[in-house]
A = this chain, B = another copy of it.
Amino acid sequence: MTSTVGFIGLGNMGGPMAINLVKAGHRVLGFDLSEAAMSAHADAGGEKATGVAQMAAEADVIVTMLPAGKHVRQIYMGEGGILENAKPGTLLIDSSTIDVDSARAVIAAASDKGMPMVDAPVSGGVAGAAGGTLTFMVGGADEAFEAALPYLDVMGKTIVHAGGAGNGQAAKICNNMILGISMIAVSEAFVLAERLGLDAQKLFDISSTASGQCWSLTSYCPVPGPLPSSPANRDYQPGFAAEMMLKDLKLAQEAASSSGAATPLGAEAASLYSLFCNSGGQGQDFSGIVKFLRGTS
């Protein structure tokens, strides 16, 4: 069964995600402020939408992949936006990584218009977007989740229903807050080990099979050597850029502040990634924070 899918935001992530929908046989009306992105979409078999209003009026399903909550609020709830122009019953999927409050506000507004909607942020990066192997963390009502599943399956490999509206965002920022903190923890341990004359490979061997084991160590080791696949071995080319980690840590801090949760290490991790990004690390892989902690970035 093919649908008319509107897709807004054809960037590094959205572009290849939209093309996977095209490959699955859907008519995909793409929209982006970049003419180059629109052309690439058309070259790959998609159609160029003339604007948000036209696209929303024609689409059965709309997917958005935008930078921040303010863009999502604007494109859905603003004048000439999706909620004003889409048919009741249109399925809405926001795959942007944004603040929980914005996600919940937009889903509530969509519900008022009779449009089922999920927040469905992803992990897996550009490679996952191109290969259709993304992980989607999905928040929203059961019916909305079920309706979104066939489209998410085309773009991803692992689809998890995390609960009601906004819970996709909540799951992503909780996970990535653990990730950001543990990457700094592992990096601090390697820097301390170096200073103490403890070989990095020794620390890797010991902690990999002990209580210090974590994904940041055993799947993404921040120093060159122990794990050939990690970005540390290719001069910290991302991978997952430090500025994206900073974005997620800031979203976690917004959510903590808004909900009244105390997250002292999450806050400190955000500060450390800010310092790293401000000192030139923003485009490097997030594991490059080890250089900043060592004083060699």
Chain A residues at the B interface, C-beta cutoff of 8 Å:
100, 123, 135, 137, 158, 160, 162-164, 166-167, 170-171, 173-179, 181-182, 184-186, 188-199, 202-203, 205-207, 209-217, 219-220, 252, 255-256, 259-266, 268-269, 272, 293, 295
Instruction: Assess the A181–B182 pair: CB atoms within 8 A.
Output: yes
Q: How far is the CA of A246 from the CA of B244 in the complex (A)?
A: 33
Q: Residues of B contacting A181 with CB < 8 Å?
A: 181-182, 184-185, 188, 265
Given A167-B202, A188-B266, 11 extra CB contacts under 8 A: A123-B211, A137-B206, A163-B199, A167-B197, A174-B190, A178-B212, A182-B212, A185-B265, A185-B266, A192-B259, A211-B220
Return 16 A-B CB contacts under 8 Å, by A number.
A162-B206, A166-B196, A170-B197, A171-B202, A173-B192, A176-B211, A177-B189, A177-B192, A178-B182, A178-B189, A181-B184, A181-B265, A182-B185, A184-B265, A188-B265, A265-B269
Q: Residues of B contacting A266 with CB < 8 Å?
A: 185, 188, 192
Q: In the complex, which residue of chain B has the Cβ closest to the Cβ of A218? A: B213
Shortest Cβ distance from A247 into chain B, in angstroms? 15
Instruction: Assess the B263–A212 pair: CB atoms within 8 A.
Output: no
Instruction: Assess the B170–A212 pair: CB atoms within 8 A.
Output: no
* Interface residues of A, dominant DSSP: helix
Instruction: Assess the A174–B192 pair: CB atoms within 8 A.
Output: yes
Instruction: Assess the A295–B207 pair: CB atoms within 8 A.
Output: no
Q: Residues of B contacting A209 with CB < 8 Å?
A: 158
Instruction: Assess the A214–B182 pair: CB atoms within 8 A.
Output: yes
The answer to whether residues A212 and B176 also contact, given A185-B181, A268-B268 and a CB cut-off of 8 A, is: yes
Q: Residues of B contacting A197 with CB < 8 Å?
A: 163-164, 166-167, 170
Say which residue of B199, B211, B259 sits within 8 Å of A179 (CB atoms).
B211
Say which residue of B123, B213, B219, B268 sits within 8 Å of A264 (CB atoms).
B268
The answer to whether residues A167 and B196 also contact, given A212-B178, A262-B191 and a CB cut-off of 8 A, is: yes
The answer to whether residues A185 and B178 also contact, given A191-B262, A263-B191 and a CB cut-off of 8 A, is: yes
Q: Residues of B contacting A170 with CB < 8 Å?
A: 192-193, 196-198
Instruction: Assess the B195–A261 pair: CB atoms within 8 A.
Output: yes
Instruction: Assess the B263–A188 pair: CB atoms within 8 A.
Output: yes
Instruction: Assess the A160–B211 pair: CB atoms within 8 A.
Output: no
Q: In the complex, which residue of chain B has the Cβ closest to the Cβ of A195? A: B259
Q: Residues of B contacting A295 with CB < 8 Å?
A: 262
Instruction: Assess the B198–A162 pair: CB atoms within 8 A.
Output: yes
Shortest Cβ distance from A98 into chain B, in angstroms? 14
Most buried by B among A100, A194, A202, A293: A202
Instruction: Assess the B192–A261 pair: CB atoms within 8 A.
Output: yes
Most buried by B among A135, A166, A182, A217: A182
Q: How far is the CA of A182 from the CA of B182 in the complex (A)?
A: 6
